[in-house]
């Protein structure tokens, strides 16, 4: 590729927006040319707009420091400067839906980190290794929106990335019941320990809306396209508890699962080791070479040691063993703001580019 696609980040000053900025620095296919945020940030340079609230350990990339932040609500102004946008805004759901559709109707593809459109029937919610075929529904969505080139695609909730890939590799054995408890980092709430000191030495056994997402979104990912809409799968039955723990990054899950056709432990480990998806086949820039890494050690995966595996884009598993109530139990781990948020969205954009859905305007 000789010329990079021009990218806008809508909601670029928040934690996920900052992660987009970081991940896109020196990206081989994409270049950030516009950053948009609330009206209060508009008119400032990006460096000025995040002064005192830059949440990452890496510095602000030099390439974006002097970009003047635009008002995200001025859709045409932003859209005219880019080939597509990433969206990670902090607004009410109805406002997010309207904003993302407004961008799409300008002919601008939208890759969203937000939850607002995850259940819109003709909008694909994608983990690129798992359900790339759902992108086919974009044609129907474009017709509904009245655009030839614009559309919306979304990534799923960050918590499910820690266990859905491991289960997906085992779908041939027909998982019937899944019980998962997730232990979720504070960055999932857009926080660090400086601005959320109440989390130090503390566990909060509730994250609003998270359990419903964790139980239902995997079924949509495993669903099928019928009459130009994505219809969710009816199995497995999933029950979850989602808990906030004093960890900066990384969502860990403990998982119990029963199958219609129980595999051997060796079969499970082989499926995890061998699993590859469309991103690996295409050699996409952000795709992990090894999607699922299994640790033999009894005390792995550990959040701090293993969340950055494959630059934060891989998922890891460990402690696979038979269970006295269910067939098996295991532990899963993923990086919530990389694979589970901005990195996952970048990988979706790479897939959309490779499959011809995103092109230069």
The residues annotated as belonging to the active site are 158, 251
One DSSP character per residue, 99-122 reads HHHHHHHTT-EEEE-SSTTTT-TT
Q: How far apart are the C-alpha atoms of 125 and 9, rounded to whole Å? A: 19
Which two three-digit tokens encode residue 199?
């989390």
- How far apart CA 120 and CA 128 sit, in angstroms, is 18
> Comparing C-alpha atoms, which of 177, 249, 281 is closest to residue 15?
249
Please count the other Cβ atoms lying within 10 Å of the Cβ belonging to residue 39: 12
For 178, the 3-state DSSP assignment is: strand
**Inter-residue contact 164 to 236 (CB < 8 Å):** no
**Strands 175-184, 251-259: pairing kind:** antiparallel
E strand or H helix that includes residue 231: strand 229-231
15, 188 in Cβ contact below 8 A?
A: no
Q: Are 100 and 152 in contact (CB under 8 A)?
A: yes
Q: Which residue is associated with the tokens 């495993």?
A: 222
Sign of CA dihedral 116, 56, 215, 228: positive
d(CA 131, CA 218): 11
Length of the chain: 361
């Amino acid at each position: 590729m000789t010329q990079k696609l021009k990218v806008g980040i809508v909601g670029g000053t928040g934690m996920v927006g900052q992660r987009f900025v970081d991940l896109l620095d020196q990206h081989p296919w994409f270049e950030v040319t516009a950053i948009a945020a609330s009206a209060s940030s508009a008119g400032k340079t990006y460096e000025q707009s995040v002064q005192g609230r830059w949440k990452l350990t890496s510095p602000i990339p030099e390439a974006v420091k002097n970009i003047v932040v635009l008002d995200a609500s001025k859709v045409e102004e932003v859209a005219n400067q880019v080939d597509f946008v990433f969206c990670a805004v902090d607004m009410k759901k109805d406002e997010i839906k309207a904003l993302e559709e407004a961008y799409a109707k300008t002919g601008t593809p939208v890759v969203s980190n937000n939850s607002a459109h995850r259940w819109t029937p003709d909008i694909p919610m994608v983990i690129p290794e798992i359900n790339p075929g759902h992108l086919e529904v974009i044609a129907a969505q474009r017709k509904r929106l009245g655009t030839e080139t614009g559309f919306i695609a979304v990534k799923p909730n960050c918590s499910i990335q820690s266990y859905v890939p491991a289960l997906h590799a085992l779908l041939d054995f027909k998982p019937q019941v899944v019980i998962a408890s997730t232990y979720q980092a504070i960055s999932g709430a857009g926080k660090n320990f400086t601005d959320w000191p109440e989390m130090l030495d503390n566990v909060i056994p509730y994250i609003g809306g998270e359990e419903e997402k964790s139980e239902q979104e995997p079924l949509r990912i495993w669903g099928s396209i019928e009459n130009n809409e994505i219809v969710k799968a009816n199995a497995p039955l999933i029950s979850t508890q989602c808990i906030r723990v004093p960890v900066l990054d990384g969502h860990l899950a403990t998982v119990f699962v029963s199958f219609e056709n129980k595999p051997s432990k060796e079969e499970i480990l082989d499926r995890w080791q061998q699993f590859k998806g469309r991103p690996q086949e295409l050699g996409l820039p952000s795709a992990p070479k090894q999607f699922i890494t299994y640790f033999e050690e009894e005390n792995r995966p550990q959040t701090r040691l293993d969340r950055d595996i494959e630059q934060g884009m891989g998922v890891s598993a460990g402690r696979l063993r038979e269970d006295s109530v269910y067939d098996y139990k295991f532990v899963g781990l993923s990086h919530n703001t990389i694979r589970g948020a901005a990195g996952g969205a970048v990988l979706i954009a790479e897939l959309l580019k490779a499959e011809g859905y995103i092109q230069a305007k």
